[in-house]
A and B are shown apart, each in its own frame.
Chain A
Amino acid sequence: MEPVIVFDRVSKEYPLYHRVTAGLKHFLLDLPGAIRSLRSTRLEVLRDVSFTVQRGESVGIIGRNGAGKSTLLLMIAGVIKPCGGTVTVRERVSPLLELGSGFHPDLSGRENIELNGVLLGLSRRQVLTKQDSIIEFSEIGDYIDQPIRTYSSGMVARLAFSVLVHLDPMILLIDEVLAVGDFAFEKKCLDMMLSFKGSGVTTVLVSHALPQVEQMCDRVIWIEDRSIRCCGAPSEVIAAYIEHSKPTDKP
């Protein structure tokens, strides 16, 4: 076993910029408050988070909205830096933080494949050789030369996912992407990801679709209140999470 993602006591806080960006007038009208807020209001998102992901492992991350799951993915992808601690990633990351980011609505499906493929790390030549197989996987057919603003959201998702599976990822980061597309395509995606898993791709998946997480992942990390609440076998962690999330009668 070889660790490919290592988080060592990672913490992240965001400064709150709204005071200054709210404008000079507000800033000057409430000067003491503004200065205080500049100094002290930092939003702590993660505190002392440590975990390790081994090569070929599939790890699911669950937790409430705003618990810091996406921040964690962004740090693995290298889009943002931690404020404290270290993040070590030993492989090339294929971020799929959101399906279809980087698509332009006025370009055709084919043009978007080239654009998106290169933005996600392929060379133009690689995209060109894979183009036919991307189009075939997406099952979009003749619509491929239409501008994608005419596509349904499910079709956009299909196209985006097709580009993704052709990236030959080493580490795959997925943020809530399987909720789109019809049943058949969703099944196809799941099969694809399971086959990735078989070929040694490391996957980190953020999702609220607990059954999928349970089916896909070897291990689940539950983030609550800025740190790891518990981490372990999917069935146990998910059961605990569901138990915890149940509405209680008492306030």
Chain B
Amino acid sequence: MNQLAGMMNRLSYYWDLTVVLTKKEIKIRYKSSVLGYLWSVVNPLSFALVCYLAFQIVFRIGIANYPLFLICGLFPWQWFSNSVNTSTEIFLRNSSLIKKTIFPKSVIVLALVLQDMIHYVLSLPVIAVVALHYQVFPTLTWLYGIPLLLLIQLAMTYGAALFLASINLFFRDMARLVSTLTILVFYCTPILYSESMIPPQYQWLLYVNPLAPLMANWRSVLLDGCLLPDYLLLSAVYALLILYTGHQVYERFRWRFAEVL
């Protein structure tokens, strides 16, 4: 009984930590900019515009409602990419917290990923508006599909971010490596193109890239209103694996964080 109460206490403290740190991240992110929150929509939208010009106008890709198709994949991708790219520096930026306080440091990473998730969720209405413009209507699938995919992507992104944040303290090249890798993975993930456009001999790429089934599923849910169960399972397995690895690496190295900062 006592043990249970202790655990509940720790859990509720963990929750409080997550809340205050996420609030802080959200508050400081756009603190001194005029457009504020709008930036988290403007960024992916302008990226989408560039892709639209290049692939629809110039290359004449044969995909219906291409702008909508694009943002359904780009928005969740931006969440992943932003989180992962910021995560490499997150412990360095918070070095005074690492060295001078004793709360579980993984919460710093969790808050970062949650903050990006919240920005993504806030940009979902933009997708809905664009969808309406193309006469694509929200379906009931959104009700359970979106939360499920949010959860999977949260686990996957948090695991990856925790891994990268921990490793980067000992191997500072990680930050540059990650920014290069994310660009590479971006083009290997069906965001600009659909899965069916990948030549048969390269279809396996869909299965070795943890982001591919997830991003394809986002688009399937948002665009076609259908959750693909095999992709869902595959991305869930990847998410758990990445979360586990990230956590193990963090646990292994966390005692030395204060020494290398």
Partner-B contacts on A (CB < 8 A): 14-15, 17, 21, 74, 77-81, 93, 95, 97-98, 101-102, 104, 106-107, 111, 114-115, 118-121, 123-124
Contact = CB atoms under 8 A, between A and B. Distances in A.
Contacts of B27: 106-107, 111
A79 B258 contact: yes
A158 B41 CA distance: 40
B101 A95 contact: yes
A97 B172 contact: no
Nearest to B12: A123
A97 B100 contact: yes
Contact of A80 (B31, B96, B259): B259
B238 to A, nearest CB: 31
B16 A123 contact: yes
A78 B100 contact: no
Best-surrounded residue of B13, B16, B97 (most CB of chain A within 10 A): B16
Contacts of B31: 106
Nearest to B107: A119
B253 interface: no
A74 B258 CA distance: 9
A119 B97 CA distance: 9
Nearest to B98: A79
A101 B96 contact: yes
Best-surrounded residue of B12, B21, B100 (most CB of chain A within 10 A): B100
Contacts of B17: 118-119
A77 B255 CA distance: 12
A115 B102 contact: no
Nearest to B108: A119
B30 to A, nearest CB: 11
B102 to A, nearest CB: 6
Given A106-B27, A118-B16, 10 more contacts: A79-B258, A93-B102, A97-B100, A97-B101, A101-B96, A101-B99, A106-B31, A111-B27, A115-B23, A119-B97
Interface string B24-36: 1001100110000
17 contacts: A74-B99, A79-B98, A80-B258, A97-B100, A98-B96, A98-B100, A101-B97, A101-B99, A102-B97, A104-B28, A106-B27, A106-B31, A106-B32, A111-B27, A115-B23, A118-B20, A121-B102
Contacts of B102: 77-79, 93, 95, 121
Best-surrounded residue of B20, B28, B101 (most CB of chain A within 10 A): B101
B19 interface: yes
Contacts of A17: 170, 260
B103 interface: yes
B24 A101 contact: no
A14 B259 contact: yes
B12 to A, nearest CB: 7
A80 B259 CA distance: 7
B13 A97 contact: no
B96 A102 contact: yes
B155 to A, nearest CB: 24
The 3 closest A-B pairs by CB, nearest first: A101-B100, A101-B96, A97-B100
A248 to B, nearest CB: 35
A21 B172 contact: yes
A63 to B, nearest CB: 20
Nearest to B260: A17
A104 B258 CA distance: 20
Nearest to B105: A79
Best-surrounded residue of A15, A93, A119, A120 (most CB of chain B within 10 A): A119
A101 B97 CA distance: 6
Contacts of A101: 96-97, 99-101
A123 B14 CA distance: 9
B166 to A, nearest CB: 15
Best-surrounded residue of B13, B20, B31, B260 (most CB of chain A within 10 A): B20
B101 A102 contact: yes
A107 B20 CA distance: 12
B99 A97 contact: yes
